[in-house]
Amino acid sequence: MRISVTDRCNYKCIYCRTGTDGAIYGELPFADYLRMARLLVSLGITKIRLTGGEPLLRRGVVEFVRELAQLRSPEGQQPDLAMTTNGHLLADMARPLKDAGLIRITVSMDAVDPDRFARITRVPAGFDHVLAGIRAARKAELWPVKVNCVLMRGFNENQIIPFGMFAREEGVIVRFIEFMPLEEDRVWSPSVVVTLDEILARMAEYRPLIEIPRGRSETARRYRFDDGIGEIGIIAPVSHPFCGHCSRIRITSDGKIRTCLFSVWEHDLHELMRRGASDVELADFVRGVVGRKEERHHIGEPDFVPASRTMVHIGG
């Protein structure tokens, strides 16, 4: 389960946001997200990822992590707690997040070249903050630290090999993500997508890669370098869709359930809560919604219908 705690963001990445639009949807009190999380963990959710917008912008997020860390599955297990962040504010927050019970973290970073990074994020001098955040996360023993890079032809496909080096030097898992049509500006086209096959071919010019077996619901194909130093992953929803393995559900910042990134409708869990539904009624609702999870997305097909929200407002 992914919970978006805000759709505000302090970055304006060119492939994600227009740069002019801000937050659109509301935010709920943490107590409401916590009730949703408790319910879903009781129904079998074992992994919770906090996201946004930018989750570290939300005041009280560390306390929220502490509350989530108290949850237990019906078998008595603590949920696996993760966060996806742009890392800009992470340097000071990595240790408090770890102490509160966060287990692992993913930092989004689309270039290892500071100038290119600034051009993509449209925020000056952000690179140093993000790098400091990644290093602080490692120091705080959030593990693993993953670095997600969305590749776009003409913007940053020349960063593939530098990211391979970065993974090895910094001890992080770098994951390349194929660009999906989920942006505010409608700039997506198939030709902009840098595909899994291209990434593998380019990286092999640097060092040979060996595929690592992966778990059933893992979205990334995983590879290690031939000398055992450094791991990269590739998430290829466009060229190699994995919908049949997807077990994710998402809660938006305003409390709607989305069963697919590309959902064209949402399920208003918060409205039910507001009307006083009991936990039994909420659980019935969630079961019904999850039972109707979309079979697959239709990216690149003639019948593709854009999702009802863009990525920053869903929670990536």
Residues of this chain that bind ligand SAM (CB under 6 A): 9, 15-16, 51-52, 54, 84-86, 108, 148, 150, 177, 179-180, 182-183, 311-312, 316
The kind and range of the H/E element at 47 are strand 47-51
Q: Is the CB of 193 or the CB of 273 nearer to ligand SAM?
A: 193
Q: Is the CB of 145 or the CB of 282 nearer to ligand SAM?
A: 145
Minimum Å gap between C-beta 261 and ligand SAM is: 9
d(Cα 50, Cα 102) in Å, to the nearest integer?
A: 10
Minimum Å gap between C-beta 208 and ligand SAM is: 27
DSSP string of 1-41, one letter each residue: -EEE--S--S---TTT--SS----S----HHHHHHHHHHHH
**Nearest residue to ligand SAM, scored by beta-carbon proximity:** 316
Q: Is the CB of 107 or the CB of 209 nearer to ligand SAM?
A: 107
CB 255 within 8 A of CB 266: no
Q: Is the CB of 164 or the CB of 316 nearer to ligand SAM?
A: 316
Q: Is the CB of 55 or the CB of 79 nearer to ligand SAM?
A: 55
For residue 278, give every residue at least 6 positions away whose Cβ sits within 8 Å of its Cβ, in sequence order, or none. none
Q: Is the CB of 167 or the CB of 180 nearer to ligand SAM?
A: 180
The kind and range of the H/E element at 213 are none
Minimum Å gap between C-beta 107 and ligand SAM is: 7
Instruction: Please name which of 227, 243, 225 lies closest in space to residue 235, comparing C-alpha atoms.
Output: 243
Minimum Å gap between C-beta 238 and ligand SAM is: 9
Minimum Å gap between C-beta 284 and ligand SAM is: 30
Minimum Å gap between C-beta 73 and ligand SAM is: 25
CB 149 within 8 A of CB 40: no
